[in-house]
Chain A
Amino acid sequence: MKKRFIFLFLIVNLLIFSQDANTILKNIDNNQVYDSIKYEGEMIIYISGKKYVKTFKTLARGNKEFFTEFTNQDDLGTKYLKIEGTLYVYSEDLEDVMQITGHMLKESVMGSDLSYEDMTENNTLSAQYNAKIVEEITYDGKNVWVLELTAKTKNVSYPKRKLWVEKDIYLPLKEELYSLSGAALKENKIIKYEKIKGKNFPVQIETRDLLRKNSKTEFIMKNIDLDVKIPDSVFSLKNLKK
C-alpha cells in the first residue's frame, strides 16, 4: 500500500512538473509572439578575429512571413522573403530571385552563425516541443529554470533544445540547440531585452555556431514597432524583385 502511494505521488509530481514546464513554454511564446513587427536591425559577425557589420530593415507578420532588405553598402539590394515556409533571396549580383532549398538551407546567412534553416522556422516552441524542468539554478545572477525540450514529432528542425528561463519574466536567457543525434549545434544568448507593449522582448541576441571556431554573431534590433499594419503586397515575389 505504502509502495503504491509513493508511486502515485511520483506520478502526480511528474505530471505537475511537466504541466509547469509546458506552461512556462507557453509564457515564453507569449513574450515573443506578435501579429506583426517592423524594425531596423544590425548583424555583427565576428569570425577569426574579424568583424563584419551588416544592417537591414525587416517587416514580419507572425512567424510565417518576413521581408528583409539589407542596407549596408556591401550587401545593398540583397533581399530575403519568407512566405508559406519558403525562403527566397534576391541579390543585385544575381539580378534574379532564387529559392533556398535542400542542403542550401544549412548554409550560413551572409557568413553569420545563423543558417537559412534558422530563418525558415515557423512554429512556436509550445507547438513543437514537450518541455521538462531539469534544474532550478542561478544563472548570470538570476533565478532560472533549466528546461529540456524534446520535439513532439520527428520533423522539427532542432529535435532537442535546452533553455535557461528567467523565472520572473519568462525569457530564455540562454538556449542550446541540438541535432537529432543529441550533439550541441548552436547557442543563443539574450544580451538585452526591452519591455515593448507589455512584452519582454529580446532586442540583442548573441548566436554561436558551436561547430565553427572563433565565431559569433550579434543580432541587434532597433526602432521596434510591434503590431503594425503591413500591406499584403510586401510579402510577395514581386516586391522582392523591385
Chain B
Amino acid sequence: MLKFQIVYLVSKILKSSDRGSLVFKEVRSNMKLKSSNMFFLKMAFANLKRHRLKSFFTILAITISVTVFIFIDAFLYGIDIDSRRNLVNFETGEVKIYKKRYFDIKDELPMYEAFTNYEDILKSLDKIGYDAAPRIKFAGSLLSKDGELPFLFVGIEPEMEKKVFITHNFIENGKFPEKNQFEILLGIRGAKDLGVDIGDTVRLTTVIDRKDENGNIKHIHQLIELRVCGLINCPNPYLNGKIGYISLDILQDEKGLLLEGGITEICIRKKNKNISGLPHRNESISVIKKHIPQLKTLNDKNINDEDLILVSWYDDALDFISISATKTGTSKLVSIFLIFLSIIGIANTMLMAVFERTKEIGMLRALGMKDNEVKKLFVYEAGLIGLIGSTIGVIIGILINIYMTNVGIDMTEILTNMNMENFGYRVIGVFKSSWNIPVMIISMIFATLIAAIMALPPVKRALKTSVTDAMRFE
C-alpha cells in the first residue's frame, strides 16, 4: 500500500514541483521501500502509462523487429530442413558406400575407381533391414536437334532405386527407365533447355575413364543413343535440372561404358524409412558396420585406398551443407541487421525520453533517490518496453508460423520467372517454415535485455548534470 503511495506522490511531484519539499519528506520516510524491485517495476510501469504514445511506438518497433526476425528465422530453418530432407530422399539416401579412393576425389566423378563384387553386401544389407541401390555417376553431354548441353548421368538399377529414393513418384510425364532399355529419364528443366520431350531421341556423349594394365588412366570416346522415357518434376530442383537416369545394365558393355559390373556407389536407406524425417548422421553407419565388418568408416584408422567405406548422407553432402549454411547465415545477417536497426530505434527513443525527462531525474534525485536507483528505474522501464514488445512480437511470429508451417508460400512462379529454380537449396514449390522454439525464446530475452541496456547511456549522461541544473532544465 505504501509503495503505491510513493508512486502517487512521485507522480504528484512531476505534476507540481511546488509541493516538492512536502513530498520529499514523505518519500524519504519510505526509503526502505525504494530498494524493492517491485517498487521500481511498478514505478516504471506507471511511467510507461504516463508516456503512452512514446511507449507505444517503441514497443511497436520492437514488436516488428522480433516478428520479422522470428518469421525469417523460421522460414530459413524450414527451407534448410526441407532442403536436407530432399537431399536424403532424392540424392544420397541415408548412408552411401564408396571406394575410399573414389570418395577422396568424388567431385571429379572418376569412374575408373568403380568397384565390383558387391552382391554379398546387398544381401547382408537386406538381411539387416536396409534397402540398397547400386549406381554409377558420370558426366557428359546430351545432344538434341537444338544443340548440346552438359549433363550429369546416373546409372541405376531401376527397381532397387525405387526402394531407396522417391524420385519415381515425381515423374510428370512418361515412366521410370526399365532394365535393358536404351532410355533416359530427364529433369524437366534440363529437357526443356535441350528442347526435347517424351519419345524424342537424344545422343549421350562422354569419355569413359578406365585404367589400363599399368594403372594409367585411359579415356575412350563414347556415344549412346537413348529415347527420353520420362521427365522428373520433383521438390528437389537439382533433379529437375540437367540430370539423366539410365538403366545400369545397358552401360555394362561396348554399347555403354564398359563397366563390366562396376559401380561407383551404393545408396542405402532403412526399409521402414520415414521420408518426412531426417536420418541421424551416424546411427545407421554403426548398425551396418556391426553386421558387415569389412566396411570401414571415415573415422577408422589405417583405411586402404581400395577399402569400401560407409559415408553418412551428411558427410557425403558436406560441401553442399556448408554452402547452404553460409547462405542461411547471410540471410540471418539481414534479419540481425533489422534487429540492429530496431536497437538504434530503441536507443534513440530512450535517449529522447530520458532527455525530455531530465527535470524528472533531477526531481527524483532531489527527493533522495540515489543515482543507481534512477538508473535502475529507467532500465526497468526500458526493459518493460522490450519485454512487452518482444512478447507481442513472439505471439505474432507464432501466429504467422502456424500459417507458414501448415500452408506456406508457393514460390514456383516467382523462382521460375526469376530463373532461379536452382538457387542453391534443394527445395522448390511450396516453401514452409519450421518451428525453431529456442530462437523464439532467445529473441524475446535478447530484445528485452537490449532495450534495457540501451536506456543506460542517456541516463548516465543525465546523471552527470547537477540536481539543481537538472530541475531547472526546460
Contact = CB atoms under 8 A, between A and B. Distances in A.
A211 interface: yes
Contacts of B108: 101-103
A179 interface: yes
A105 B219 contact: yes
A153 B212 contact: yes
A55 B449 CA distance: 68
A68 interface: no
A120 B217 CA distance: 11
B177 to A, nearest CB: 18
Interface in A205-240: 211-213
B205 A181 contact: no
A151 to B, nearest CB: 9
A181 to B, nearest CB: 5
B223 A159 contact: no
A169 interface: no
A111 interface: no
A152 B224 CA distance: 22
A105 B220 contact: no
19 contacts: A85-B216, A102-B110, A102-B207, A102-B209, A103-B108, A103-B140, A105-B207, A106-B207, A117-B207, A117-B219, A153-B212, A180-B221, A181-B222, A181-B223, A183-B225, A185-B205, A185-B221, A211-B203, A213-B147
Interface string B214-254: 00111111111100000000000000000000000000001
Contact of A154 (B207, B210, B224): B210
Contacts of B143: 211
A159 B205 contact: no
Given A105-B207, A120-B219, A154-B210, 15 more contacts: A101-B217, A102-B110, A103-B138, A103-B139, A106-B205, A155-B210, A156-B220, A157-B219, A157-B221, A158-B221, A177-B221, A181-B222, A181-B225, A181-B255, A213-B147
B284 interface: no
A155 B148 contact: no
Interface residues of A, number: 24
Contacts of B110: 102
Contact of B206 (A101, A103, A157): A103
B388 interface: no
A181 B225 CA distance: 9
B166 interface: no
Interface in A86-106: 101-103, 105-106
A154 B223 contact: no
A64 to B, nearest CB: 12
Nearest to B107: A102
Given A102-B110, A102-B209, A103-B140, A180 B258 contact: yes
Given A117-B219, A154-B258, A212-B148, A180 B208 contact: yes
Interface of A: 85, 101-103, 105-106, 117, 120, 153-159, 177, 179-181, 183, 185, 211-213
Where chain A touches its partner, the secondary structure class is loop
B200 to A, nearest CB: 17
Contacts of A157: 218-221
A157 B219 CA distance: 5
Nearest to B218: A155
Contacts of A85: 216
A199 to B, nearest CB: 28
B262 to A, nearest CB: 13
B109 interface: yes
A181 B219 contact: no
B47 interface: no
A101 B205 CA distance: 16
A158 B219 CA distance: 9
A154 B203 contact: no
A103 B218 contact: no
Q: Which 3 A-B pairs have the closest CB atoms?
A: A103-B139, A155-B218, A183-B223
B148 A180 contact: no
Contacts of A180: 208, 220-222, 254-255, 258
B140 to A, nearest CB: 7
Contact of B148 (A102, A156, A211): A211
Given A156-B218, A157-B219, A181 B140 contact: no
B297 interface: no
Contacts of A117: 207, 219, 221
Contacts of B201: none
A159 B206 CA distance: 14
Nearest to A118: B221
A103 B212 contact: no
B217 to A, nearest CB: 8
A8 to B, nearest CB: 32
Contacts of B223: 179, 181, 183, 185, 211
B405 interface: no
A78 B224 CA distance: 34
Contact of A159 (B138, B203, B220, B225): B220
